[in-house]
Structure 1
Amino acid sequence: MLPVQEIYNSLIDALKANPITLLQAPPGAGKSTWLPLQLMRDGHYKHIVMLEPRRLAARNIANYLAQCQNEPLGQSVGLRVRGESKVSVHTRLEIVTEGMLTRMLQNDPELSDVDLLIFDEFHERSIAADTALAFALESQAALREDLTIMLMSATLDSDRYTAFFNCPVIQSSGRSYPIDEIYCPIKDESRWLDAIPAIIKQALNEQTGSALVFLPGQREILRVQQALSDLSSNCIVATLFGEQDKANQQAAISPAPQGMRKVVLTTNVAETSLTIEGIRIVVDSGKRRAASFNLKTGVTELTTQSISRSSAVQRAGRAGRIEPGVVYRLGSKQTFERRNSHDNPDILTSDISQLMLEAKQWGASISELTLLDPPSEQQCSQATNLLSMLEAIDSNGKLTTLGSKMLGFGADIRLAHMLLKAQMLEPRLSGVYRLAIYLVALLESRVNTANELNLALHSQQQRPHPVFKQQLNYWLKRLKFTDSRTDLNTEHLSLLVSLAYPDRIAKKRGNGYLLANGAGAELNPDYWHNDEYIAIASMGGHKGGRVFAATALNPLALKEYLPHLFTELTRCEFDEKAARFIHQDEVKLGEITLSSQPSKHKLDKTERAKAWLSVFAKQGFSLFNEQKESEQLLIRMCLASKLMPEQFPVINQQQLIETAGDWLGVYLEDIKTLEQLKKFNYFEALQNCFNWQQQSELKSLLPLRLTVPSGSNIKIEYQLDGPAKLSVRMQEVYGLTSTPMLANGKLALLMELLSPGKRSLQLTQDLAHFWNSSYREVQKEMKGRYPKHFWPDDPANSVATNRVKSRM
């Protein structure tokens, strides 16, 4: 009996009683195969849609379940993945990939004929899965109370998820078969890949059965494959990764021939929802290739990272699917236990422009969606800028008609924009649509070996790589394009790259380039271009700032086709080094200045004030010459805001610098030189940040001066951190029995008691204690030094004075 069968009845009860339920079941429990099939067979649901994060797993599960039904795929069990749809009116259980589920929800928010949504391997937390779940939850709340949602995984962060979704968790304990763990420490972590072949050979010698080896990517797979060329003749080495064709993938998954053993070298494509027959050994490198998005460059770079403990559990589970197994883990047990419990969700480390566009199509903002981990403001800002450059949203942030078409295109939104625009431009630019199809095939196949895209395309046309050919045929067929020509006109290549990557149009700057998004880039060492402008299709390397593939560009030739990228403006700023105003008319493409010349327009006061504000934004209040009164006002206002937020608005130095245009700008309009600016007294401008009532309350609660018992009005010195300070001659506070407090008792006063010669004698915040303690020693010393002054034995009850004894 499969473990999930034991909790089946409890799970049914939970599903019927709750809108959303979590199922936590270990690898091999039957949650991805037996469970959905049984739910369909028992008639609990009329139409079930199960989301699988990987196409390979989706195809294999769908085919397996169809075989269990003794039917061809597309009858009671269906499949929807990119480029492949096998469903019919008889389909009651659909296996779909993430993007397909999002499209289903966008096309029919009610999911009219679906009554159960299953999110398998939810721990992977891809952006597409988070998006689809957010939409499904909205549909459930607003349109479909009868829609049931189930989240499944072996390694869910169940405590967090149950609290967030307010739902029950059903747990299936135990595996189908036990798995032993063997740790393989290494001395030099940097040479981890060299240790893998030896561990594989050790495992084959010590164990029976076939082995599944987890590696980060194809490059590592090929290296290990070469190192295993000396294995015995009864051992087959196979490879399995996402970019392979179906035939090679199925060959890797199929069981080894009778009397043979198999070593399958794979990426994390085989980590979940995939059973490879005969596998009872897992060798886990503990590494994965993960996307890391650089907000500055707008580039997603694949980096090699250590996997989390939950991913390691998933990988080990592949060994115990059909018999007892064993996992060999690279590294010590202590290293393993120091790993993160779960991988970071994609939504926090990825480009969210697709998610933002999906949300706009859905009719919501990202902040309105139910997301376990909302993206940062910086991610949202970057995505907004990119979508604007791709013409997917207008100046008000609204979805455009083109943006809607891009979403429905079923491709990366950059490439969708390029293909759709190329199709529109075909009547004016003959051959540009065909060239766009070839470029998409080149970029998606990732087989380019030339840094110059012209050369890369011509090379693939003459001697096409099998993967390029496969991608080209896919796009030609999908777009119903007949390609009968033998030549390839690349005249408009830079335009196409700019359509897909407008943020990566770049201008020569020193030894590198300045990108339209403001980031810097450097050339690959063997890149031979020296053009002033280039359009970049591929970047990566350190911090995503290295150019891998680009083509020369004439930016002004783009203006006819991409006018929205160009901005004409008048720049006015103060050059501090030259001590003069720069007043130029400029044409810009993003952050790139294409042309600049002395402005034809007269410099007006508003522009000059903006220039001074830019100087202030860099230097802050240190820009101005010392002015004690204004500085003390600034500190008092900040203290009032901090100590009494119910009475005063939020005020702090950084906030004032950021909002200087609101309170300071108008005062700077008549200032013409930097010297005048430095001498400017900002007291009045700053004071007006408070209304008349608040100014009055400030004077009362945090006064500039304090009247002491002698009648003198003494100045108070305030500081942002710590007590306010009152420096006063000791004789002037006789009769004062306690230290005064400010701001309704919220700010302490530090009293610096001075000698008649204004030398500091004592610092105290407890005057009463001072009178009764160390005052005696001060009295003895001062009587000898200042005999003409009054030094009473009981200062707390004596009359204060600012005179000598003879004049009292």
Structure 2
Amino acid sequence: MRPVFPITPLLPDLLASLAGHPRLVLEAPPGAGKTTQVPLALLDAPWLDGQRIVMLEPRRIAARAAASFMAAQLGESVGETVGYRIRFESRVGPRTRIEVVTEGILGRMIQDDPSLEGVGAILFDEFHERHLAGDLGAALALDVQSALRPTLRLVVMSATLDGERIARWLGAPRITSPGRGFPVEIVHPPARTQETVEHHLARVVALALRENEGDVLAFLPGRREIERARGLLDRLGDGVEVVALHGELSLAEQQGALAPADPGTRRVVLATNVAESSVTLPGIRVVVDSGQAREPRFDPSSGFTRLETVAISQASADQRAGRAGRVAPGRAYRLWPESRRLEASRVAEIEQVELSGLALELAGWGSDRLPWLDAPPAGAMGQARDLLRRLGALDDLDAITPLGRGMLTLGATPRLAAAALRAPASSRALVADLLALAEARSPLRGEAARNDDFRQRLHALHLWRDGGARAARSGTADAGALAAIEKASAGWRRRLDVRAAASGVPDSRTVGNLLVHAFPDRVGRRDDGPAARYLLSNGRGVRLHDASALHGEPWLVVLDLRLDARDSLVFSAAPVDEDVLERDYPNRFIVERVLRWDETRQIAEAFEERRFDAIVISRKSVPVAGDDAVPALLAAVRAKGIACLPWSEHAQRLRARINAVRGWLPDAGLPDVSDEALLIRLGDWLAPYLTGKRRLDALQASALSEALAAMLDYDQRRLIDALAPDELRVPSGMCRRLEYGTREDDPSAPPVLAVKLQELFGLADTPRVGDGRVAVMLHLLSPAGRPIQVTQDLAGFWNRTYPDVRKELKGRYPKHPWPDDPWTATATHRAKPRGT
């Protein structure tokens, strides 16, 4: 008899829903039994008609555990009715009807057989984790269902998801299981000063064992932190067993961690986020949560999506704490301040990882118009397709190439798949090692970990493979890391149909010559200047550290680096032959005549360059003729700004007048001659006047004025002269200049007329321009030319302010007229005649 789970009472409703509708959203908290009970409940559904059920499980540990638990309920071994397929491992047979699969395996199944012949239902477990493979698999499955298999059943299951949103996306019914849980007390024990996460966790685990009954589940972000914490907890004493649970363990070790503790023994399980859901850990009464996890992030320094330590979401924190309340009331110790606020839920991988693998899948599918829950960002997809074209997986029309098809089938990341498939058959065993090493963290330890020569990692692997434990005792490499790399290499050898593993030391440039096909954008050539500096084919500069083992190599392929604002620091690289580049990438070697602007000499120069992408291999000077230098001169103006041109005073005044009239009469159709507009249209108005020139200072002010005037037709010039005259005649009979554009924030501000007030006697109204629309801003000056008043109300000045001004200044300037009545006085620009 099968055990009863909280999900059990809902199974009839679930079956009834799927009998009438091909899609379903199932919300069930951890421990409800959805992962292991739903697939078994569907086996005998009439609509399944003997077809297989495929369940996508995000993690390998959970996939193995779920398959094992379901098989045990049927009294069978894994690989009979229930089996699993994970990367490099398969336990399925001819009788298998439930397949638990991980990572890109579902996508591979759909790509290989779009009709999904023999598959009656696809279940997406733990969909809230929003892995890229899950999003892609769901989108592809929906596409298949709508176009080819309307009877295919799709079930999205999760403990914590936005069920309403998912149901709207699927157009599906929604069923919710209440779950089974006990109350969990949340406490936040503070860290001590400068205490590491591992020491904080070890101290709290010891406290938890003293204060509580049952076993302890402690969450840490990764294997390294688990091993460090395990070392600290080994002194807990007899009766306490400390075990690890993470994805790099062997199958036997994982099964041991999931098994109950021996009678009389308390267990501390140090786990990554694989233990958040989908796996059952018996006896857990306490959770100690570091609040950290490793999640995929695109690392532009390596070109890979790497695991990065990040703070968990509130949903993950709640799910982890819930592990303490499965069998009885429990307690969760959270190792972060209670005041810290976590993000509500984790961000979908599709929004934060490199998408070349997704772009390749969509190219293989023949369309990216899929029913996404969250569509991939356009910018990231554009970058991904650029890389695929460089790798040779897409053609110029973004159609998949034969090489791209092969890469899709291999199942590696596009970079590594390209390297594997472009390698000669004789090097396939070595390529398997390189793929495994490139995907893993460096196995080197101690001082050797600083070695930036990627070949040393291969050497360590081969030494370990040939010498076993003796080689590992040298202390320069981590035996556990090498064992995991060897396991991955064996998986790649099977995929590449290689029987024997590589050994020995390859030629000095063999490693780089193979890996260059994964990183064609990371080829570097030694700079002619500093010996440690290299220029990459993507245009970036990089540098070797002082103790680098790669000094002196003319060409490198860079696998990993730390991005800096200027030259990035190389962490891992290998030498490569230029001959290999010329053989395999002949189209990227070009000879081109280029013009450059020499900032020091302020001159345009022409060269004939031979380049590999952005790397200049050779350069020779050639003559500059005709208008060849015009683009370089225009680029110099754009870089320096419009003010670098030799503007005459007349030209600057004309620009100000034009912009003023544009502001007063927007519909007049006058050109925009602001700095920004002139820079945008440099090629239209300035380029003709630069023909035959190599220097900006060869452009004369008169030519620049001519270029500006040429932007106006005859009627526009007349309009500007009429509405924005260069000067005004004042009552004294003199012509005084108007100043336009005196306010940077408002080109259409009234022009300024600076004039001695004696020259305006008898003038009642403020002068106007712009066909009477705009009153001039008067700067009234003393006889010495000093400002007295700024006004647009001349009449108000005569009436209210002039008497005070007259009283104050008459004694200071006795030789100038200060009449009692400025309205009737005669305007003059002169002093009073002698004797008056």
2-structure distance, mates of 1:140, 1:721: 60
Give the Å deviation of 1:274: 1.7
Aligned CA distance change for structure 1 residues 232 and 295 (closer, same or farther; 3 Å): closer
Aligned CA distance change for structure 1 residues 620 and 179 (closer, same or farther; 3 Å): same
The answer for the alignment partner of 1:674 in structure 2 is: 696
Structure 1 range deviating more: 405-414 or 664-673: 664-673
Give the Å deviation of 1:231: 1.6
The answer for the alignment partner of 1:527 in structure 2 is: 548
1:555 aligns with 2:578: yes
1:592 aligns with 2:615: yes
Q: Deviations over 1:529-584 (max 9, x none)?
A: 21243534642557694433322233244211232443332231021203343322
The answer for the alignment partner of 1:202 in structure 2 is: 207
The answer for the alignment partner of 1:348 in structure 2 is: 351
2-structure distance, mates of 1:201, 1:56: 27
Aligned CA distance change for structure 1 residues 706 and 113 (closer, same or farther; 3 Å): farther
Give the Å deviation of 1:289: 2.7
The answer for the alignment partner of 2:813 in structure 1 is: none
Does the 8 Å CA contact 1:74/1:87 hold for their aligned counterparts? yes
Give the Å deviation of 1:202: 0.8
2-structure distance, mates of 1:326, 1:630: 76
The answer for the alignment partner of 1:436 in structure 2 is: 431
Instruction: Supply the RMSD in Å over aligned alpha carbons.
Output: 4.9
The answer for the alignment partner of 1:415 in structure 2 is: 416
Give the Å deviation of 1:241: 1.7
The answer for the alignment partner of 2:645 in structure 1 is: 624
Give the counterpart of 2:537 among 516, 529, 534: 516
SS in 2 for 1:717: coil
Aligned CA distance change for structure 1 residues 19 and 285 (closer, same or farther; 3 Å): same
1-structure distance, mates of 2:430, 2:697: 59
2-structure distance, mates of 1:697, 1:110: 72
Name which one, 1 or 2, has greater alpha-carbon Rg.
2
2-structure distance, mates of 1:583, 1:287: 56
2-structure distance, mates of 1:691, 1:150: 69
Alignment map for 1:636-785 (pairs within 5 Å): 657=679, 665=687, 667-677=689-699, 716-717=740-741, 721-722=745-746, 724-725=748-749, 726-728=751-753, 752-755=777-780, 777-781=800-804
2-structure distance, mates of 1:461, 1:141: 50
Instruction: State the TM-score, normalized to the length of structure 1.
Output: 0.81
Q: Deviations over 1:483-524 (max 9, x none)?
A: 287645335222112112222222345344333223343445
Q: Deviations over 1:377-397 (max 9, x none)?
A: 3x3454344223211223444
Amino acid at match of 2:487: Q
SS in 1 for 2:282: coil
Structure 1 range deviating more: 178-187 or 724-733: 724-733
2-structure distance, mates of 1:737, 1:608: 49
1-structure distance, mates of 2:365, 2:610: 36
Alignment map for 1:96-115 (pairs within 5 Å): 96-111=101-116, 114=119
Give the Å deviation of 1:348: 3.3
Does the 8 Å CA contact 1:752/1:762 hold for their aligned counterparts? no
The answer for the alignment partner of 1:483 in structure 2 is: 500
SS in 2 for 1:230: helix
Q: What 5-or-longer segments of structure 1 have no aligned partner?
A: none
Q: Deviations over 1:268-320 (max 9, x none)?
A: 23233222222222211112234443447646554432222222123223333
Does the 8 Å CA contact 1:213/1:264 hold for their aligned counterparts? yes
Aligned CA distance change for structure 1 residues 649 and 123 (closer, same or farther; 3 Å): farther
2-structure distance, mates of 1:645, 1:168: 59
Give the Å deviation of 1:592: 2.4
Alignment map for 1:384-399 (pairs within 5 Å): 384-399=385-400
2-structure distance, mates of 1:117, 1:675: 72
2-structure distance, mates of 1:650, 1:313: 60
Amino acid at match of 2:594: R
Structure 1 range deviating more: 195-204 or 105-114: 105-114
Aligned CA distance change for structure 1 residues 2 and 420 (closer, same or farther; 3 Å): same
Give the Å deviation of 1:675: 0.8
Aligned CA distance change for structure 1 residues 83 and 192 (closer, same or farther; 3 Å): closer
Does the 8 Å CA contact 1:25/1:153 hold for their aligned counterparts? yes
Alignment map for 1:60-459 (pairs within 5 Å): 60-87=65-92, 92-111=97-116, 114=119, 116-140=121-145, 149-157=154-162, 171-173=176-178, 175-188=180-193, 191-295=196-300, 298=303, 300=305, 302-335=307-340, 338-364=341-367, 370=372, 372=374, 374-375=376-377, 377=379, 379-422=380-423, 425-426=424-425, 431-444=426-439, 446=441, 448-449=443-444, 451=451, 452-459=453-460
Amino acid at match of 2:262: P
1-structure distance, mates of 2:343, 2:505: 50
Give the Å deviation of 1:249: 1.6
2-structure distance, mates of 1:131, 1:201: 43
SS in 2 for 1:201: helix
2-structure distance, mates of 1:145, 1:733: 90
Give the counterpart of 1:37 among 34, 37, 40: 40
1-structure distance, mates of 2:578, 2:358: 30
Give the Å deviation of 1:370: 3.4
SS in 2 for 1:560: helix
Does the 8 Å CA contact 2:221/2:309 hold for their aligned counterparts? yes
1-structure distance, mates of 2:500, 2:258: 35
Amino acid at match of 1:724: S
Amino acid at match of 1:362: W
SS in 1 for 2:234: coil
Aligned CA distance change for structure 1 residues 73 and 735 (closer, same or farther; 3 Å): farther
1-structure distance, mates of 2:373, 2:670: 35
Does the 8 Å CA contact 2:627/2:692 hold for their aligned counterparts? no
Give the Å deviation of 1:116: 4.6
SS in 2 for 1:316: helix
Identity of aligned residues (%): 31
2-structure distance, mates of 1:789, 1:7: 103
2-structure distance, mates of 1:281, 1:650: 71
The answer for the alignment partner of 2:471 in structure 1 is: none
Aligned CA distance change for structure 1 residues 388 and 633 (closer, same or farther; 3 Å): farther
SS in 2 for 1:311: helix
Aligned CA distance change for structure 1 residues 315 and 728 (closer, same or farther; 3 Å): same
Amino acid at match of 2:741: E
Give the Å deviation of 1:125: 2.4
Q: What 5-or-longer segments of structure 2 have no aligned partner?
A: 466-481, 811-815, 830-836
Tell me how many residue pairs correspond in the alignment. 779
1-structure distance, mates of 2:709, 2:96: 72
Aligned CA distance change for structure 1 residues 43 and 167 (closer, same or farther; 3 Å): closer
Q: Deviations over 1:406-454 (max 9, x none)?
A: 12211121111111101xx34xxxx333322232233345454263343
Instruction: State the TM-score, normalized to the length of structure 2.
Output: 0.79
Structure 1 range deviating more: 467-476 or 719-728: 719-728
Does the 8 Å CA contact 2:184/2:324 hold for their aligned counterparts? yes
Aligned CA distance change for structure 1 residues 339 and 623 (closer, same or farther; 3 Å): farther
Give the Å deviation of 1:60: 1.6
1-structure distance, mates of 2:43, 2:165: 30
Does the 8 Å CA contact 1:708/1:733 hold for their aligned counterparts? no
1-structure distance, mates of 2:362, 2:660: 40
